[in-house]
Chain A
């Protein structure tokens, strides 16, 4: 089906849906409305497929470390030769930001003598790696096409706004580094796959970070929830209330939401309120059925609470009627121009313990091999320090986690860059900035293919993908997913 056709069909469907919902809501109470939608869902479920929903379910959990994580202090060369290069470049003791080799947590990995360790604050991630539930991708970043230092100095087809937070954070979300756009690769994946969900009343893109580019497609958009309470509902909206004043209030709210607005800002403002109110009725009813975790199961942090909420939503995916979902969390504060070691250490510790708790939670509800957790960050940081911290650079390292049947764990993918600045082909700056050797396109393409994007539509999700990868190839672009 062509995209245009798909869009216009979606549009028609949405219009019908809106009419249906608006008409029903005016006459029926919230609960009546909910029941009728749930019945409809059950009918659709029977008609669409006989296969068990939960076996087909897949979710992407995308965690953005905003600000530029210094990921060369997260994943560190460990064999003596490469550690020595790392230490010489980053500076040891009071003269830099290198972590002492004795403090590093070695990974159970050896590729022809190359070894790695991770930051001393991440023992849980070390454990996940060694159990085959985590892998790393090394020296990854935004690229328009494969790029070497000659291209760089000739400014030949480079990403827009290198080293700029706003541009690079956007490009990791858009997957289109040669344009400034507000459409994200998660949103475009959803454009293609949203029809596979029985639930069309709630977006398959659940955001713990409000509006965002990543989840915004041509038709897809994020459904924003709160990490503590789930979806926000409309207080004191009760069309069935026995009090005539409360019924009149509900009727007037319906009238405000339902009226035609000429001004498109007014129209958009009110439409969001109406659809949020309706979605909450379904979402909250489902979330009430979800697994509950004891205090302390998840860390008491923004990320911990977000992952706890995500686990609960995944647990009720069948009640909600989703086969495909994407989740987004944004954690800020990674821009460590000063005080890198201590500040970043505490933040990595939180990430590590949260990832462990999330894996424990997914294993408890039996979804660890269907939920892929991936890490984005707009860039890594200069390899040398500025006297306190490090500054904006380009390529960095990311982790992925998932169950042992989902990912090819215990691997470090990518060309390990030399951190010996004088002799590194990747280095383009005296402070140590590396050109990526794996593009974000390849990373995102692998995720998209696993998620169910057809080969023929991969260029819709990632317009530059053919610069790096043949969409029809039977091999995955990087190989971290076990397909």
Chain B
């Protein structure tokens, strides 16, 4: 086996399998490998070698002599300076694309829901197909993202990878954009299936928190910046949303609906919502 290890003869099959897994578990490449993959999923696409090395050290030894303590590994990844320090946020290449499922769950959890029978059910099949991330049905055993995906243009020219861009092509990019339109055009549409199956009322967002904000466009913008773009909404994105909110004047009887529809739609398709820094 790897590293010249020999499994003793005469064991049971299960013992052989356990020894083989142990041999892989002890291989010196496992720590860096799993550290890179987890950092890419949780924080950024292109971690520095030093970051990988720090996490890999925690994988080897959690401080109490235990190898493979995954809770300690994840904690170290999220608390690392490269995940926390503001200077990294301003670095133009220090990012990852948010995967479609997370774009969906963030919206689904944004507000409380209301339904007469308290019946809640995700209606995500259509979205996940359009966005290319059919959960539990990845196109290969290697899951959705090609580890070396490097989209054409600035990312590839910089010699960087961006695995999540595997799911960002002409079809899936607009598949997401159009889903964001449906979510905001009929707020709560993401949780609609109970209606179809049980012939009950739609599940809707509880908008009481927003009702107080719609009238003042800036307050609504600030709320979206806080909950959707983590305070990173750029001035130009803000200006684009402000413009459409302004055109939906409050003398309009449906202004609260249309400010939500057009305003939050733009926030959801904005680069700041979809790219994690």
Q: Tell me the minimal C-beta distance from B237 to chain A in angstroms.
A: 6
> In angstroms, how far is the closest chain B Cβ from the Cβ of A143?
22
* Cross-chain contact B139 with A264 (CB below 8 angstroms): no
CB-CB nearest in chain B for A249 = B262
Contact at B169–A253, with CB atoms within 8 Å? Answer: no
Provide the bound-state CA to CA distance between A223 and B244, in Å: 31
Q: SS class of chain B's interface: helix, strand, loop or mixed? A: helix
Known contacts A210-B167, A211-B169, A259-B237; A252/B174 CB under 8 A: no
Residue of B nearest to A250 (CB): B244
In the complex, which residue of chain A has the Cβ closest to the Cβ of B170?
A276
Determine the chain B residues whose CB is within 8 A of the CB of A262 once the complex forms: 92
Check A264/B92 contact, CB under 8 A, given A248-B247, A259-B237, A269-B274: yes
Interface size on B, residues (CB 8 A): 61
- Does chain A have a CB within 8 A of B56? no
Cβ of A472 under 8 Å from chain B: no
Closest to B148 in A: A182
Contact of B166 among A210, A252, A268 (CB under 8 A): A210
Q: Is A255 an interface residue (CB 8 A)?
A: yes
Please give the distance in Å from B248's CB to the nearest CB on chain A.
5
A245-B248, A255-B240, A259-B236 known; A210+B181 contact, CB < 8 A: no
Segment at the interface with B among A83-91, A226-234, A449-457: A226-234
Taken together as a complex, chains A and B put the C-alpha atoms of A276 and B247 apart, in Å, by 27
A332 to B137, CA, bound (A): 11
Partner of B170, one of A66, A182, A261, A279: A279
The residues of A that contact B92 with a CB separation of less than 8 Å are 262-264
In the complex, whether A42 has a CB less than 8 A from a CB of chain B is no
Partner of B244, one of A165, A221, A245, A275: A245
Residues 207 to 239 of chain A near chain B (Cβ within 8 Å): 207, 209-211, 213, 216, 219, 221-226, 231-236
Q: Give the A interface residue count (CB, 8 A).
A: 58
Q: Tell me whether A405 is interfacial, beta carbon within 8 Å.
A: no
Q: CB distance A207 to B271 under 8 Å? A: no
Contacts of A231 in B (CB 8 A): 170-171
A225 in contact with B171 given A255-B236, A264-B92 (CB within 8 Å) = yes
Q: B158: which of A67, A165, A264 is its contact (CB, 8 Å)?
A: A264
Interface check B25, CB cutoff 8 A: no
Q: In the complex, what distance in Å separates the CA atom of A261 from the CA atom of B270?
A: 11
A349 to chain B, nearest CB (A): 22
Closest-by-CB residue of B relative to A266 is B271
B134-166 at interface with A (beta carbon < 8 Å)? 139-142, 146, 148-155, 158, 160, 162, 165-166
CA distance in complex: A255, B235 (Å): 12
Q: Are A267 and B171 in contact (CB under 8 A)?
A: no
Shortest Cβ distance from residue A66 to the other chain B in the assembled complex, whole angstroms: 6
When chains A and B are docked, how far (Å) is the Cα of A67 from the Cα of B97? 28
- Cα distance, A335 to B95, chains bound together (Å): 35
Contact B148 A180, beta carbon cutoff 8 Å: yes
Residue A244 at the chain B interface, CB threshold 8 Å: yes
Contacts of B169 in A (CB 8 A): 207, 210-211, 222-224, 272, 276
In the complex, are the beta carbons of A224 and B262 less than 8 A apart?
no
**A276 to B265 CA separation, bound complex (whole angstroms):** 18
Q: Once the chains are docked, how many angstroms separate the CA of A67 from the CA of B142?
A: 11
Any chain A CB within 8 A of the CB of B26? no
- The reply to whether A232 and B266 contact each other, CB–CB distance below 8 Å, is no
- A160 near B: Cβ within 8 Å? no
**Interface membership of B187, Cβ < 8 A:** no
| Residue interface bits B227-241, CB-to-A below 8 A is 1, else 0 | 000000010110111
Judge if A256 is at the interface, Cβ distance under 8 Å.
yes
Q: Mark out the residues of chain B between 221 and 272 whose CB falls within 8 Å of any chain A CB in the assembled complex.
A: 234, 236-237, 239-241, 243-244, 246-248, 258, 262, 265-266, 269-272
Select B171's contact among A210, A270, A275, beta carbons within 8 Å.
A210
Determine the chain B residues whose CB is within 8 A of the CB of A225 once the complex forms: 170-171
Instruction: Give the chain A neighbours of B175 by CB distance below 8 A.
Output: 232
Q: Are A251 and B243 in contact (CB under 8 A)?
A: yes
User: Bound complex: CA of A224 vs CA of B176, how far in Å?
Assistant: 14
CB–CB A236/B170 < 8 A: no
A65 → chain B closest CB, angstroms: 12
Contact with B along A304-326 (1 / 0, CB 8 A): 00000000000000000000000
Task: Check A272 against B243 for contact (C-beta < 8 Å).
Answer: no
* A210-B166, A265-B95 known; A280-B174 Cβ under 8 A: yes
Given contacts A245-B244, A280-B174, 18 further A-B contacts (CB under 8 A): A67-B140, A182-B149, A211-B165, A211-B167, A245-B248, A248-B247, A255-B236, A255-B243, A262-B92, A263-B95, A264-B153, A266-B272, A266-B274, A269-B173, A269-B271, A276-B171, A279-B170, A332-B139
14 intermolecular pairs with C-beta atoms under 8 Å apart: A67-B140, A180-B148, A213-B146, A221-B152, A235-B177, A248-B244, A252-B243, A255-B243, A263-B277, A269-B274, A273-B269, A276-B170, A280-B170, A280-B174
Please give the residue numbers on chain B whose beta carbons come within 8 Å of chain A beta carbons, in ascending order: 45, 92-93, 95-97, 130, 132, 139-142, 146, 148-155, 158, 160, 162, 165-175, 177-178, 181, 185, 234, 236-237, 239-241, 243-244, 246-248, 258, 262, 265-266, 269-272, 274-275, 277
Residues of A within 8 A of B (CB): 66-67, 165-166, 169, 180, 182, 207, 209-211, 213, 216, 219, 221-226, 231-236, 244-245, 247-249, 251-253, 255-256, 259, 261-273, 275-277, 279-280, 330, 332, 335
